[in-house]
Each structure stands twice: as structure tokens, then as C-alpha cells.
Structure 1
């Protein structure tokens, strides 16, 4: 045996990616109650890193991430407080792709979240990820490098800007 672990139930796993709403699992994240908000709350969608070596396996995780981004857009429409809603995608590390909801909270002095040295032109070497990002409509895109190239995506006129 070559030491690779066979993953069982992948067909069901990928089917569930397309239909599950992970936000319903977080009952403590009540967007109508700022007492439940967390510093730089975020959610990853590829915990096992299936998409690290195959964009075919990464794409359904990205689709789920942006579906959840849209769900959060709807859920933040009535928020009276400042917030930032954004996603960070890493060049080749699918397990680190995440959706972030960031708010000011009393013991946090790091609001607004900022990253220095961002640019409008891509820093990504992953052509398939670059093509995926370019096909997304309505997102502002900023690129950088911090060990690995990444793209920060957000919606203009939603929450606080970058």
C-alpha cells in the first residue's frame, strides 16, 4: 500500500457542499445581537485540504464559500453597527480559504481590519483560481503576498471598506 488514505463518502461529501448552510450550525452568531459577535469571526470550507492539489476539488468549496458570502450579505442588511464582510483566498492552500465577518467589540482595538501593500493586479500564480476569481461578479479584489499570494474579496458599499 502506498500510504495514501482512501477517503470514503466523497460523493456524499461533495453533494452536501452544494446544499448545506453552515451558518445555521452557529446558533451563537446572532447578527441582530452585537453581544454575540466575535473578533474577526471566520469560517473555512475545505477543512481537509481536498482542493490543495486539485482545482476540480477546490471549486465546490469556493462555490460554497461564496454562497455563504451571499447569505451573510442578506443577514447583515439590518445591522446598525460597523462591520466588514470579506473573503481571503490563498494561491494554493484551499484549507485556508475563509469567509470573515469582522466587527468592533469592546475589548478589540483592531477594527477596521487592514492589510498593507495590497494591489489591484493579481499576485496569484494559480491560473485556475485566478480565472475563478475573475469570473465572480460584483466583488472588489485586492491582491497581496504574505508567505503565499492571496486575494482579498469584498463587496463595495457593504460594511466598511478596505
Structure 2
């Protein structure tokens, strides 16, 4: 054997990425709810680390859910932040975040230092994907690995 473990059911896995909603059965968003940098990862197994072809469906799902959360956050007061963080080469760490004032005294609004509007990404395919997103603001940084922080103007508090 070559040591490569074959993953069964990947065709179904990727088909479900394109259609399933991770938020439909989550009645956790109402006017009294708070979030302490709650986040959700879409590529738990890191399949997207092996190729951008495998990463893209996870990113597509992340941004579909970003748009879903925009609608669901309408019941919150404007004291929240909705954003995504994408790492240069670590698909498993890509996540969608929701943050608000909270009883844990976490910093709100959440701030990330040394962000810039010029890309720091070395992953050209990811950079091209991010540049193709319409209506999103993009800020870039470096923290062990280059990353992009993405949000929408007019949705919660900006960065």
C-alpha cells in the first residue's frame, strides 16, 4: 500500500456542501443572544489543503452562510460584527465569525492590528477567489500565516 487513505463518500460529501445549510436547525439567533467570537468552520477535515479545487466548494458554502447570517442578524441590535477569516494555505481554519457585546467582557468591537488593504496572500488561487467576491470588504494581515479578514459594509460594526 502507498499509505494513502481513501475517503469514502466524497462525491456525496461535496454534493451536500453545495446544498445543505448548517444553520437551518439552529434557533439560537434572537434579540437577546450574545456572541463571544462564535465561529463555524466549513472544512473540518482539511480536504481543501490538498488542492484549490477541493477548497472552493467549502469557501462557496462559507459565503452562502455569510449571506444567510446577514438576514438572521437583522433582529440583533447593530452591536455585532459578522466576518470571515481565510488563511493562505489552511482550509480547515477558514471560518465565519459572529461577535457581539457579551458578558465575558471580550473586546467589542473586535480589533485586529496591522491590517492592510493590499494582499499579503501567497496563494494566488485564493487571492483570485477573494477578489472575485462582490460587495465584500477585504483586509489582509500576517499572523504566522497570511490571512484575509472579510466583512460587508453596512452589516454590523465595520473593522
TM-score norm. by structure 2 comes to 0.96
Alignment-derived partner of residue 136 in structure 2? 139
1:149 is aligned, of 146, 149, 152, to 146
Matches within 5 A, 1:27-66: 27=27, 29=28, 31-35=29-33, 37-66=34-63
Aligned residues: 159
SS of match in other structure, 1:18: helix
Looking at structure 2, the residues matched to 70 and 140 of structure 1 have their Cα atoms a distance apart, in angstroms, of 14
Offset at residue 81 of structure 1 (A): 4.7
Looking at structure 2, the residues matched to 57 and 73 of structure 1 have their Cα atoms a distance apart, in angstroms, of 26
List structure 1 runs of 4+ shifted beyond 4 angstroms.
none
SS of match in other structure, 1:125: coil
Does structure 1 retain, via aligned residues, the 8 Å contact 2:78–2:157? no
Q: CA RMSD in A?
A: 1.1
Q: Deviations over 1:28-73 (max 9, x none)?
A: x2x21424x3311000000000001200000000000000000000
Gaps of 5+ in 1: none
Does structure 1 retain, via aligned residues, the 8 Å contact 2:87–2:145? yes
Looking at structure 1, the residues matched to 61 and 103 of structure 2 have their Cα atoms a distance apart, in angstroms, of 31
Looking at structure 1, the residues matched to 14 and 148 of structure 2 have their Cα atoms a distance apart, in angstroms, of 24
1:19 partnered with 2:16 = no
